[in-house]
Structure formats: C-alpha cells, structure tokens
Amino acid sequence: MKIITGGAGFIGSAICWRLNELGYKDILIVDSDVEGTKKNNLAGLHYTDYMDKITFLKELTGDTFHKSVETIYHMGACTSTTEDDMDYLIKNNFEYSKHLAEWCLKHKVRYIYASSAATYGDGELGFDDDEKLIPKLQPLNKYGLSKQMFDMWVLEHGYQNKMVGVKYFNVFGPNENHKGDMRSRVNIAHKQILDTGKMKLFKSLNADYKDGEQKRDFVYVKDAVEMTLFFDNNGKDKNGIYNIGSGEANTWNSLAYSLFKAMGKEPVIEYINMPDNLVNQYQYYSKANLSKIRNAGYVNSITSFEDSVKDYVQNYLSLNKYLSVE
C-alpha cells in the first residue's frame, strides 16, 4: 500500500493519478475536506480507501498499517503563504510531519515529504539544495518558516540519509481549482481573461525588475510528480533534500504571453499595486538548481514552460477537466 497525505489536494491527487497510470491502485488517501471542495480531484482516480488526517494519525499510532505500507508521500500541509497563525502552522506542517517521519523510521517505510522553495527566502543565498546551506536560509513568511523548521529537524537528527524531502518551486497545473487565492497565476488569470479580456500582474517595487519582469521557477505539476516518484522507483536508494522545479526562471510577462497564446487571444496586461501583506515577503526571483537530482539519476526531460501552459489551458482549464485515468 502507498499512502498519500493531502491526497485529495493538488500535488497529492496528481501523485495518485500518476501511480494509477503506472498500475498502482492500492492507495490510501488521507486528507481533511469537510466541505468536499476537492471531490473533483479524486473523481477519476483509483484508490482503496479515504481517511481523515486526524483519524489516520490515531490509526498509525496504533500500528495498524506497518505490515502493508511501502511508502508514505506526505503532501498534506497548510500551504497558504499568507497564513499568520504560527501555532497552527507548527501543528500542521511541523508536528504532524514529525509523527509520520518517526513512524516510517520505526517501521522502515519509505518517507517522501513536501518541503518548499519558500524556505529560500529572498534568494540572497541562491537556490542550491546543498544541505549545508539549509541552516543559513531565512524564509520571508511563516509558511516558509514552518517548512524550514522541519527540514532543520531532519538535518539535526541525521535523517536526511533515511528519507527524502522535496522542495517544490512554483507548481501549477490541473487539480488546483480548490486552492482559492493560492491557485497558480495561470489558473487565476485564465478566468480573469475570460471575464475581462485582460490579465492582472503586480507592479514591481524593486528597481532591479521592471513591472512583470519578476522571475520565478514555474514547474508543471506533471513534471513535479514525475520527479517526486523518481525517489520511489529508480531513485529508491537515494535520500536527502532535493529541489523540484524546472531549472528555469521565467518572467510573469512570459507567463502572460504564453497564457494568451494558449487561449488564442492577443495579450492585454494590467499592472496593479501589490497588496500590503505581500510587500515584505515577495520573491522577485527563483530558479531551482537541479544538479543534485540530476546527479542522483533523474534523466527525464522537463516540459517547456510554453508547452506546459498550453497543455494546462487547452486540455484542462478550457474543458473544465481534472486529471483522470478513466
């Protein structure tokens, strides 16, 4: 059995989809979705059971699963970069992750957990996943700090030699509709363009970047999942903390041009003021160094940015479709 926490969410459901494509159906989905906002993410997928995350932790403590579990993909967390309740973030993103890690170590179960590029902060120290750099990182928001805290816990106990952490950069793609304001800009802007004919981007408050020329490492969810699953397949003997990204830095303007092109429309961009709560925690540049995962043996090519946007828009957003194996 493979267990996916956050399995009804964005990356978690995409992992389930890809596992299904590879022939796996013995999957336990762990999530908390009282309102059923994520139901469409699982509608076209195969799994054996679904369990609330609190119930799952109680069952896990009772050692119900240890004889049948091969891998836990821990994707469940509060992913809001604007969340201000640190106690909540510690409970969800740190303590819960510790419980699962300790259980996996005890029962020799493969543990692959989601970290984040938010741990890199403003990028002053670069975006190199050398574990010696991690203690020096200074995240810009509390979400990033909660992820940094768990990475540090792993390093301080030497567990980086026994499990895998994956630092996701700006992931976008199908199955993110439930994320509200935390949806990717591709998703949000697609609706903006349909409704108004134009796309809104934040003005730059950094003299080094013109409006819309801020750069991010945007990675398609299909590629992010493929890189994640590498550590449960050909890279099963590899451990440590790795970047998961495209290895490229694209501007927000280039995202806009790719989106309008995929929709068959002429670009119309409106630059708007950045909300006050983002001014001091805004990343102007990110680019994943992928040398480490490449040296670990990951050889797959990564979908070009324009092709990723095209696939997402034309095969999912425009058709209101989700990842499905049916």
Catalytically annotated residues: 143, 179
Distance CA 297, CA 319 (A): 36
56 phi, psi to nearest 5 deg: -60, -45
CA distances for 189 relative to 198, 218, 241, angstroms = 8, 15, 32
- CA dist., res. 9 & res. 173, Å (int): 12
Q: Between β-strands 215-216 and 250-251, what pairing exists: parallel, antiparallel or unpaired?
A: antiparallel
Q: From the CB of residue 142, how many other CB atoms can be counted at a distance below 10 Å?
A: 22
Are 215 and 249 in contact by the 8 Å Cβ rule? The answer is: yes
Do 230 and 247 meet the contact criterion of CB atoms below 8 Å apart?
no
- Per DSSP, the residues of 45-84 read ---SEEEEHHHHHHHHHTTSSTTT--EEEE--S---TT--
- Match 């990028």 to its residue by tokens: 123
